[in-house]
Amino acid sequence: MNFDSYTLTKIAKKDRATVYDLFFGPNHPGMHGNFGYVFEMIGTEISNVRPNAGHLHRGFEKIMEQRPWLHNITLVPRICVMDPDPNEVAYCMAIEKIMGVEIPERAKYLRTITLEMSRLTAFLIGIGGAGASLGLYTIMYWTMADRDKILDMFEWITGGRVYHIYNIPGGVRRDAPEGFFEKLSDVLDYLESRLPEYDRLLFENPIIHKRLKGMGYVSKEDAARTGLSGPNLKASGNPYDVRKDTPYAAYPYLDFDVITQEGGDALARVMQVRMEYEQSINIIRQCIKQIPEGEVRLNLGNLNMLKVPEGEAYAKVESSKGEFGYYVVSKGEPKPYRVSVRGPSLPAGFLWAQKHLPTMKIDDVAAWMSAFGICPPDFDK
């Protein structure tokens, strides 16, 4: 006799021998990074979740306290590989606050441009992952190929495709090369032209709506209470965005609104990313149009020998995942005394995993993770 999944689950609850462990990640294609969940399964239903942070990309905060100020800029992008530049900027901003310096205007625009470029690359991974986690691999192939066009631009201006090491205390390493803004404008036009195809294939797909609607619901109040930020917070109706609420870099000079959704579920979070993706294109265009001439960094001497005066500061930026903040303490030595990183993935990846995943079917886990935009290296800094 054939039993459906629900019937098998009811039988399994009466028989302890049918409860088994299932390892979801890090080798599972639906898991991002060296992280995993250990699920206790009854049939195809999850009954308990045990997060396992793994051993790769861990202990950043203590490592940073053993390294010179400048050398940490090569380390911090690894805290979120998919969207690395916000870590560089937040760390540099904290140092600049302690030193009491303000970077040149042109450097502010260059930081903003690269931040939004990084945001676009992360959103493309998120859009593709949303489809692939539900079996729609075509959108993933499209977005990863389109992402390469932005990586080409990163390679041109910074020399690196994934880790850019472009921001330094006092500004940025170098100015944009000749012709960069013209080529970047062409890339933005191309990316915008692709949106109707993304919409037809993914965002207007009735199967995607049916699978994601109602999944992982978070109310407006719970989203704020549990520390969600970024698209996850705004998808529950909270209009908080560090770029607006605590402006930095060139954001005070730009015209954009905080986009929100009201659904609070996985579908709303995916749609939030779609809307913010288009907004980032418009922000970069404004920067290209408004960027002033001038210096791109302050003369702070030999940065390899940089000594930051005694003090402490907290600096935060709006990444594609939400608020990334760096609390930095200096004792006037060649290296930080203390660094603490506030990442946006922890509430979703740990707290909401415990709330949402039990009673969920295993085939929905990858879609749940993708909609939350979880970045595992952020868990155990």
pLDDT at residue 229, rounded to an integer: 95
pLDDT at residue 1, rounded to an integer: 41
pTM beyond cutoff 0.85: yes
User: If we measure between CA atoms, which residue out of 190, 115, 105, 126 comes closest to residue 157?
Assistant: 115
Average pLDDT value for the chain: 91
Cα–Cα separations (whole angstroms), residue 23 to 50, 57, 123, 125, 348: 10, 20, 27, 23, 19
pLDDT at residue 165, rounded to an integer: 95
Quick one: 174 exposed, middle or buried, by C-beta within 10 A (0-12, 13-18, 19+)? middle
pLDDT at residue 279, rounded to an integer: 97
pLDDT at residue 4, rounded to an integer: 53
pLDDT at residue 62, rounded to an integer: 92
pLDDT at residue 65, rounded to an integer: 94
Which CATH number applies to 60-342: 3.30.70.1560, 1.20.1250.20, 1.10.579.10, 1.10.645.10?
1.10.645.10
pLDDT at residue 157, rounded to an integer: 97
Rounded to a whole number of angstroms, the distance between the first and last alpha carbons of the chain is: 51
For 130-167, how does the pLDDT look when each residue is reduced to its tens digit (9 = 90+)? Answer: 999 999 999 999 999 999 999 999 999 999 999 999 99
Task: Name the DSSP class of 126.
Answer: H
Question: And the tokens for 374?
Answer: 């979880």
Residues of the chain with pLDDT under 70: 1-17, 27-33, 55-57
pLDDT at residue 3, rounded to an integer: 45
pLDDT at residue 341, rounded to an integer: 93
The domain limits of the chain are: 5-52, 60-342
For 72-130, how does the pLDDT look when each residue is reduced to its tens digit (9 = 90+)? Answer: 999 999 988 889 999 999 999 999 999 999 999 999 999 999 999 999 999 999 999 89
